[in-house]
């Protein structure tokens, strides 16, 4: 493995995750690799492809991406080709002849190519040991770049007669998308290789400025020798910003789907070959662009989801040097994405999912927590978090409230519990609340039961989140545990500061109640839960805890978008359980 890497690619060692993926492929195991942008995903199929011999089929989404990869392989003396609509009939015939003669080691194709019966017949004649799905998030309906053709091609690949291995690779996939890919490609749960999404050379910033164009002009002038991408939501904004840059003597180009293929190719080449240093574009630009020295990516508008944002922002700093990822946020951006979702012809499940993703994107723009840690937590909820100390939230000096005493109380409470618990249970114990579960676990007997009874649920959530994002608490499958670092906290070696949070008038917590809960509605929701429990033959608390039902009775959500923000509501429960509760809440409110 190392000799192949050194001989063809000039590297002495593998990057994190690469060797594990390649080893599984060589052991003839289907594998999913989730590596960050710039993490060297292509090597994960190129090295084993060279070692296994024959022709490796690479399914790729974009013509520009195919061309870049083929040019790079040819430059290393590796025989590679692509088949797509950019080739003439004569060129395609030449490549088909080379394939039959075993002269091509890597063949890049779009998934739509498999709709061609002649192409399928050609593949059946080849010696194929490896099939690679590049940009594999396109397979999943829940991925941000979903392409139905990526799903449709799977059964055609599996129908090929050769005994081959499958490797799927992506940089941006949530846990849900990862599971979907693995199920569709028959990848075992132990054959997923993930590395951290952290890229410490990227400096994330959120700027809610109302003077976006002015900010861009000033930033680009201050970074006059830096290459960068500026993403806009619409073609009109792309053209307006481009004109403003040109009028300020800033050499830039534009890229969007309204241009001809020739115009887009010229713009891309001008940027890649440093003839212009700034490209203003819609999200049509960027996938597979081989330019490692992009020093900044500015989002002129908020994207609709964090996957799109992170993939686009991740095109900065692929050479490992410090680069800026700046999101300019306006409340008006929210309305545009809500319009995109509501006017979509997709089914309701898909619209609901896009609404959830938009909510998470909005929360990113509002959070006071570390931006890098927020992104890491979104893609890998179980990963240990730590503050980057360089994003716009980490450097701002607004954490003036000393929460060390509260932190010690929270940690002491968690340490005394006889088993690992979730956010909601920990908060209930700290507030001194009562429930069947708390009594069953004897948590009402703990010395820490009610130790923070004067704090509201939202205040405790804020404090616990601060501990989580600073790495004092770790999370695994929504269960919180203390990190080793809490010893320094309890020993008095460290102090913890957070942003000041609003306090309500301190009132004693009534047993088995939460401030503001509508008890009549709560009782009706209990009835709904009981009905669901009996029909599904599962325990009531497995549907929703009392804590979650009390939150329903307090907030009275009327939409799924409002419900997903409540503790204890996940995507599955939102889809399968929430409609009955929403119907009950709406019915109850109509009678008031």
Q: Is 231 found in the same domain as 88?
A: no
Q: Half-sphere exposure of 562 toward its Cβ, with a 13 Å CA cutoff?
A: 13
Residue % of the chain over a pLDDT of 90: 45
pLDDT of residue 220: 94
Mean pLDDT for 172-179 is 86
| pLDDT tens per residue, range 386-427 | 999 999 999 988 888 999 999 999 999 999 998 888 888 999
Q: Is 475 found in the same domain as 353?
A: no
pLDDT of residue 374: 94
Mean pLDDT for 17-40 is 88
Give DSSP secondary structure letters for 93-134. Answer: HHHHHHHHTT--SEEEE-GGGGG-HHHHHHHTTS-EEEEEES
Which value, to the nearest 10 degrees, does the dihedral of the CA atoms of residues 273, 278, 282, 285 take?
Answer: 20
3-state SS, residue 398: coil
pLDDT of residue 15: 85
Give DSSP secondary structure letters for 470-538. Answer: TTSEEEETTEEEE-TTHHHHHTTS---EE-----PPP-PPPTT--TT--HHHHHHHHHHHHHHHHHHTS
pLDDT over 70 (residue 158): yes
Mean pLDDT for 535-558 is 81
pLDDT of residue 379: 87
| pLDDT tens per residue, range 363-372 | 999 998 999 9
pLDDT of residue 144: 66
pLDDT of residue 399: 85
The CATH number of residue 349's host domain is 3.40.50.300
Domain of residue 102: give its range.
2-194
pLDDT of residue 371: 95
- Which tokens belong to 131? 């099939």
Q: Is 328 found in the same domain as 349?
A: yes
Where does residue 393 rank: exposed (0-12), middle (13-18), buried (19+ CB within 10 A)?
buried
pLDDT of residue 510: 41
In a domain, 391, yes or no: no
pTM of the complete model beyond 0.85? no
Q: Is 225 found in the same domain as 174?
A: no
- Top pLDDT among 408 and 37 is at 408
pLDDT of residue 506: 43
Which has the closest alpha carbon to 358: 308, 300, 283?
308
Angle at which helices 371-379 and 306-313 pack, to 10 degrees? 120
Last-in-domain residue among 171, 194, 217? 194
Q: Poorest-confidence range of 8-17, 116-125, 354-363, 525-534?
A: 8-17
Q: Residue 569: which residues within 8 A CB-CB, separation 6 or more?
A: 544, 548, 563, 578
Q: Poorest-confidence range of 36-45, 253-262, 563-572?
A: 563-572
What is the residue-averaged pLDDT of the chain? 87
Q: Is 22 found in the same domain as 171?
A: yes
Through-space distance between the first and last CA atoms of the chain, rounded to whole angstroms: 71
Mean pLDDT for 544-563 is 84
Q: Poorest-confidence range of 201-210, 570-579, 580-589?
A: 570-579
Pairing status of strand 479-482 against strand 421-422:
antiparallel
In a domain, 98, yes or no: yes
pLDDT of residue 295: 93
pLDDT over 90 (residue 548): no
The CATH number of residue 479's host domain is 1.10.10.10
pLDDT of residue 509: 43
In a domain, 490, yes or no: yes
- Top pLDDT among 168 and 543 is at 168
In a domain, 388, yes or no: no
In a domain, 553, yes or no: yes
**25: number of Cβ within 10 Å:** 25
Q: Is 332 found in the same domain as 315?
A: yes
Residue % of the chain over a pLDDT of 70: 95
Q: Is 94 found in the same domain as 174?
A: yes
Q: Is 189 found in the same domain as 212?
A: no
In a domain, 308, yes or no: yes
In which band, very low, low, confident or very high, does the pLDDT at 88 lie, cut at 50, 70 and 90?
Answer: confident
Q: Is 163 found in the same domain as 227?
A: no
| pLDDT tens per residue, range 178-228 | 999 999 999 998 999 988 888 889 999 999 888 999 999 999 999 988 999
Q: Residue 153: which residues within 8 A CB-CB, separation 6 or more?
A: 59, 111, 114
In a domain, 141, yes or no: yes
Q: Is 486 found in the same domain as 527?
A: no
Evaluated on CA atoms 296, 300, 306, 312, the torsion sign reads negative
Q: Is 151 found in the same domain as 52?
A: yes
In a domain, 342, yes or no: yes
Last-in-domain residue among 144, 173, 194? 194
pLDDT over 90 (residue 232): yes
Mean pLDDT for 238-249 is 92
Mean pLDDT for 157-164 is 92
| pLDDT tens per residue, range 499-521 | 887 654 444 444 443 346 788 88
| pLDDT tens per residue, range 321-371 | 899 999 998 888 888 888 888 888 877 888 888 888 899 999 999 998 999
Q: Is 230 found in the same domain as 115?
A: no
498-520 per-residue burial string, b: 16 or more CB within 10 A, e: under 16: beebeeeeeeebeeeebeebbee
Last-in-domain residue among 159, 177, 194? 194
The CATH number of residue 569's host domain is 1.10.150.80
Q: How far apart are CA 38 and CA 56, in angstroms?
A: 22
pLDDT of residue 517: 76
């Amino acid at each position: 493995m190392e000799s192949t890497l050194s001989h063809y690619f000039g590297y002495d060692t593998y990057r994190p995750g690469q060797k594990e993926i390649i080893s599984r492929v060589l052991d003839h195991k289907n594998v999913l690799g989730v590596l960050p942008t710039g993490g060297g995903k292509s090597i994960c199929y190129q090295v084993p492809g060279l070692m296994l011999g024959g022709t490796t089929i690479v399914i790729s989404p974009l013509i520009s991406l195919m061309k870049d990869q083929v040019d790079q392989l040819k430059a290393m003396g590796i025989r590679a080709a692509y088949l797509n609509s950019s080739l003439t009939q004569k060129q395609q015939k030449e490549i088909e002849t080379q394939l039959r003669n075993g002269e091509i080691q890597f063949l890049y194709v779009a998934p739509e190519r498999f709709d061609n019966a002649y192409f399928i017949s050609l593949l059946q004649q080849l010696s194929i040991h490896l099939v690679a799905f590049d940009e594999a998030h396109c397979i999943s309906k829940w991925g941000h770049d979903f392409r139905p053709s990526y799903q449709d091609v799977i059964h055609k690949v599996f129908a090929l007669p050769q005994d081959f291995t499958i490797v799927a690779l992506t940089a941006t996939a949530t846990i849900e998308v990862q599971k979907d890919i693995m199920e569709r490609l028959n990848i075992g749960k132990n054959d997923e290789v993930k590395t951290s999404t952290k890229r410490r050379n990227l400096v994330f910033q959120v700027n809610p400025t109302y003077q976006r164009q002015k900010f861009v002009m000033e930033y680009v002038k201050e970074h006059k020798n830096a290459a960068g991408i500026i993403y806009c939501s619409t073609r009109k904004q792309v053209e307006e910003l481009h004109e403003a840059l040109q009028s300020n003597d800033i050499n830039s180009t534009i890229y969007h789907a309204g241009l001809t293929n020739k115009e887009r190719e010229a713009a891309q080449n001008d940027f890649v070959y440093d003839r212009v240093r700034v490209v203003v574009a819609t999200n049509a630009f960027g996938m597979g662009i081989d330019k490692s020295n992009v020093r900044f990516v500015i989002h002129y508008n908020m994207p609709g989801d964090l996957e799109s944002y992170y993939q686009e922002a991740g095109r900065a700093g692929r050479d490992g040097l410090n680069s800026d990822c700046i999101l300019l946020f306006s409340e008006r951006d929210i309305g545009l994405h809500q319009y995109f979702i509501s006017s979509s012809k997709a089914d309701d499940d898909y619209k609901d999912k896009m609404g959830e993703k938009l909510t998470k994107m909005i929360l990113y723009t509002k959070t006071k927590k570390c931006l890098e840690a927020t992104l890491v937590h979104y893609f890998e909820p179980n990963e240990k978090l730590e503050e980057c100390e360089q994003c716009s939230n980490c450097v701002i000096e607004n954490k003036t409230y000393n929460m060390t005493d509260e932190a010690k109380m929270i940690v002491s409470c968690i340490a005394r519990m006889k088993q690992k618990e979730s956010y909601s249970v920990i908060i209930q114990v700290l507030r001194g609340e009562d429930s069947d579960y708390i009594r069953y676990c004897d948590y009402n007997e703990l010395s820490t039961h009610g130790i923070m009874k004067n704090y509201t649920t939202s205040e405790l959530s804020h404090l616990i989140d601060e501990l989580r994002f600073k790495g004092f608490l770790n999370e695994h499958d929504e269960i919180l545990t203390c990190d080793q670092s809490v010893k320094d906290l309890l020993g008095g070696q460290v102090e913890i500061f957070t942003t000041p949070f609003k306090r309500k008038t301190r009132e004693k917590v009534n047993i088995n109640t939460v401030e503001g809960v509508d008890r009549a509605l709560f009782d009706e929701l209990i009835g709904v839960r009981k009905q669901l429990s009996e029909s599904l033959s599962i325990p009531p608390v497995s549907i929703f805890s009392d804590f979650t039902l009390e939150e329903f009775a307090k907030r009275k959500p009327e939409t799924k978008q409002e419900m997903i923000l409540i503790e204890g509501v996940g995507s599955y429960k939102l889809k399968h359980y929430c409609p009955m509760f929403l119907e009950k809440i709406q019915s109850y409110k109509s009678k008031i």
